[in-house]
Amino acid sequence: MIAIVDYQAGNLASVQRALAFLGHDSVITHDPEQVSLAERIILPGVGAAGKAMSDLRRLGMERALFVSYEERKPILGICLGTQIILEKSEENNTACIGLIKGEVRRFPENMRGGEGRTLKVPHMGWNSVQFKKKHALFRGIDRDSEFYFVHSYYPSPSDPEIVLGETHYGFSFASVLLCKNLAAVQFHPEKSGGPGLRILSNFCSWKGKEDA
Amino acid sequence: MLSKRIIPCLDVRNGKLTKGIKFKGNVDIGDPVEMASFYCEEGADELVFYDITASSENRDIMIETVRRVAEKIFIPFCVGGGIRSVEDMRRVLLAGAEKVSVNSAAIRDPGLIARGAEAFGSQAIILGMDVKKVTPSKKIPSGYEIVIDGGRTPVGVDALVWARKAEELGTGEICLNSIDADGTKEGYELNLTRLIASRVSIPVIASGGAGEARHLFEVLTSGLADAALIASVTHYGLLSIRELKSYLHNKGIKVRMHW
């Protein structure tokens, strides 16, 4: 069973719908026990870092995630779910879970794009990912594929080795992280059409190995 | 760098498309879910469903339609028409839409934009603007006036002033429809699109007037639009989204070519 962690921030059903479409059962849960018992875990992305972290702490979810990570259980972070696995976020100045080292920063104002126009924040829409390494999670995905992003903050991990993919928006930021059994994407695979569904499908059969 | 988006708009009444499309052996497809799947396979970057159901009891049919679409479609989609309250927005978003669009209701009650953005985030709120060209005056300095109720009622509000105010209130995007260009198939209203897009810092979706691929190129370049809404140009099979995107790609526009 796949557990979709509910930190009570809003609508998490789109990830579940995408999994159902692919033929995988999942449960949306705010019970740490259920998360501990799951085969694999998805940390979805809705809302703001401050509230998400205070809800996770209140629910006792932080420890369940730590233990699952140590147990080498496959974990997938999506959008905000990716950001809160780092140590801290500039959003609401939040101390996060810290499964991996690094922080989350806000896109600067007044970034300039190709046409000389100001780049808008949030970064919203379809953008590409430059993959730096091959990985089982991205098997079967065309290198020119694009993914759907909606975010104002971006992950900035300390260790460049865990950056599997980068996206350009004003500058290059880490949009795909991979550390042991933990994969994390800044875009929304559940809203990224065929390539996004492929990632979710690959995740459902991933054994959680770094170099698979 | 973000890709420019091509967004088909589907009009829905009582859970059925008002304009079917003739394809695959001249079959009229009236089901919004099938049509949405078809457009996804064709490479649409996003979809807009516009509920033109008149009576409020039929709103439940639309919510059910949204739910069915969300089970099959894994790209972002927006629902507009008849959204008058935060509660209306909540129902549509919980049923699986990414975004809601407000139009006339926001003119009558601008606070609706702020309340929606506060509750769901700016990225979930699109302001729909229907605009008509008029002689510039003290009241309408830009020469573009907002009209509501499907273009019938001018409201004495300047389009540029309204766009900037809506941005301040927290709308995440503007869908800008020219009543003059709508249905002409002679191209988007480039001056209007450029005027609004150059004066707000949120994405502008151009609407009204698309008849051929060249029109999309124009509005996405000199019109400064971030996205182009299309309706009849693909509904009637004049052009496929795939063809439109190939054309734009070959002209050097960044569009999503794999899906």
Decide if B193 is inside a domain: yes
Does residue B27 surpass a pLDDT of 90?
no
CB contact under 8 A, B2 and A127: yes
Size of interface A-B (CB pairs under 8 A): 77
First-to-last C-alpha distance (Å) of chain A: 21
pLDDT of residue B61: 87
ipTM: 0.91
Q: Report percent pLDDT > 70 for chain A.
A: 96
**What is chain A's alpha carbon radius of gyration, rounded to the nearest angstrom?**
16
- Which chain B residues in 211-250 lie under 8 Å from chain A, judged by CB atoms? 224, 226
- Helix, strand or coil for residue A94? strand
CB proximity A196 to B under 8 Å: yes
Helices then strands, counting H and E runs in chain B, come out as 10, 13
pLDDT the model gives residue B22: 47
The boundaries of the domain holding residue B81 are: 5-250
CATH code of residue B206 = 3.20.20.70
**B183 belongs to a structural domain:** yes
pLDDT reading at B55 higher than 80: no
pTM of the complete model beyond 0.90: yes
Residue that has been written with the tokens 């679409």 in this structure: B69
Q: For the segment B195-204, what is each residue's pLDDT rounded down to a tens digit?
A: 999 999 999 9
Looking at chain A, the whole-number percentage of residues with pLDDT higher than 90 is 83
Residues of B in contact with A80 (CB under 8 A): none
Residue with tokens 């020219």: B178
Element (H, E) at B177: strand B173-178
Where is A201: in which H helix or E strand? Answer: helix A193-205
Q: Stretch B57-80: mean pLDDT, rounded?
A: 92
How near does any CA of chain B get to the CA of A85, in Å? 22
Whether B255 is covered by a domain: the verdict is no
For the ranges B56-65, B97-106, B111-120, B146-155, the lowest mean pLDDT is seen at: B56-65
For B95-124, what is the mean pLDDT? Answer: 94
* Residue A110's pLDDT band (cuts 50, 70, 90): confident
pLDDT in tens, A32-84: 999 999 999 999 987 889 989 999 999 999 999 999 999 999 999 999 999 99
| Residue B49 resides in a domain | yes
Please name the residues in contact with B34: beta carbons below 8 A apart, sequence gap of 6 or more. none
Cα separation, B215 vs A166, in Å, equals: 33
A1 close to A27: Cβ distance less than 8 angstroms: yes
Residue B43 dihedral angles phi and psi, to the nearest 5°: 105, 20
DSSP characters for B214-257? HHHHHHHHTT--SEEEESHHHHTTSS-HHHHHHHHHHTT-----
Q: Of the given ranges (A122-136, B11-25, B200-214, B231-245), which has the lowest mean pLDDT?
A: B11-25
Of B5, B96, B202, the CB nearest to A14: B96
B104 has a pLDDT exceeding 60: yes
Cα gap B110→B16, rounded to integer Å: 30
Tens digits of residue pLDDT in A178-210: 999 999 999 999 999 999 999 999 999 999 887
- C-alpha B208/C-alpha B96 separation (Å) is 27
Total domain count, chain B: 1
Residue range B103-114: mean pLDDT, rounded: 96
**Residue A122 near chain B (CB below 8 Å):** yes
Residues above pLDDT 70, as percent of chain B: 92
pLDDT value for A211: 63
Residue B257 lies in a domain: no
C-beta of residue B175 within 8 angstroms of C-beta of residue B207: yes
Mean pLDDT, chain B, rounded, equals 91
Q: Band of the pLDDT at A9, cuts 50, 70, 90?
A: low
Chain segment B187-197, per-residue pLDDT in tens: 999 999 999 99
- For B70-84, how does the pLDDT look when each residue is reduced to its tens digit (9 = 90+)? 999 999 999 999 899
Provide the 8-state DSSP code for B90. Answer: H
Neighbours of A82 (CB within 10 A): 28
What is d(CA A196, CA B144) in angstroms, rounded to the nearest whole number? 41
Per-residue pLDDT, averaged over A118-146, amounts to 92
Query: Which of the listed ranges A6-10, A143-147, B10-14 does the model predict with the highest average pLDDT?
Result: A143-147
A146-151 and B47-51 as β-strands: parallel, antiparallel, unpaired?
unpaired
Indicate which of A8, A11, A115 best probes the interface with B, i.e. most B CBs within 10 Å of its own CB. Answer: A11
Cis peptide before B203 (omega within 30 of 0): no
Contact of B17 with B8, CB cutoff 8 Å: no
Q: Write the single-letter amino acid at A168.
A: H
Considering only the beta carbons, identify the residue of B75, B94, B226 that sits closest to A191.
B75
Mean pLDDT of chain A: 93
Inter-residue contact B102 to B127 (CB < 8 Å): yes
Q: What is the radius of gyration, based on Cα positions, of chain B?
A: 17
Asked if B45's CB is within 8 angstroms of A11's CB, the reply is no
With 60 as the cut, is the pLDDT of residue A130 above it? yes
**How many C-beta neighbours within 10 Å does residue B62 have?**
24
- Enumerate the residues of chain A whose CB falls inside 8 A of the CB of residue B259: 193-195
Average pLDDT over residues A157-181: 97
Reported as a single tens digit per residue, the pLDDT across B208-248 is 999 899 999 999 999 999 999 998 666 666 678 999 999 99
Q: At A92, is the secondary structure helix, strand, or coil? A: helix
Out of A46-50, A175-179, B103-107, which region has the weakest mean confidence (pLDDT)? A46-50
Of B45, B51, B130, B182, which is the active-site residue?
B130
Q: What is the mean pLDDT of residues B135-149?
A: 95
Give a yes or no: residue B175 inside a domain.
yes
Residue B141 has pLDDT above 90, yes or no: yes
**Ordered domains of chain A (ranges, CATH):** 2-205 (3.40.50.880)
What pLDDT is stored for residue B17 in this prediction? Answer: 84
Which residue pairs, CB below 8 angstroms and at least 24 apart, start in A57-62? Answer: A59/A7, A59/A8, A59/A30, A59/A31, A59/A32, A60/A32, A61/A5, A61/A7, A61/A30, A61/A32, A61/A35, A62/A97
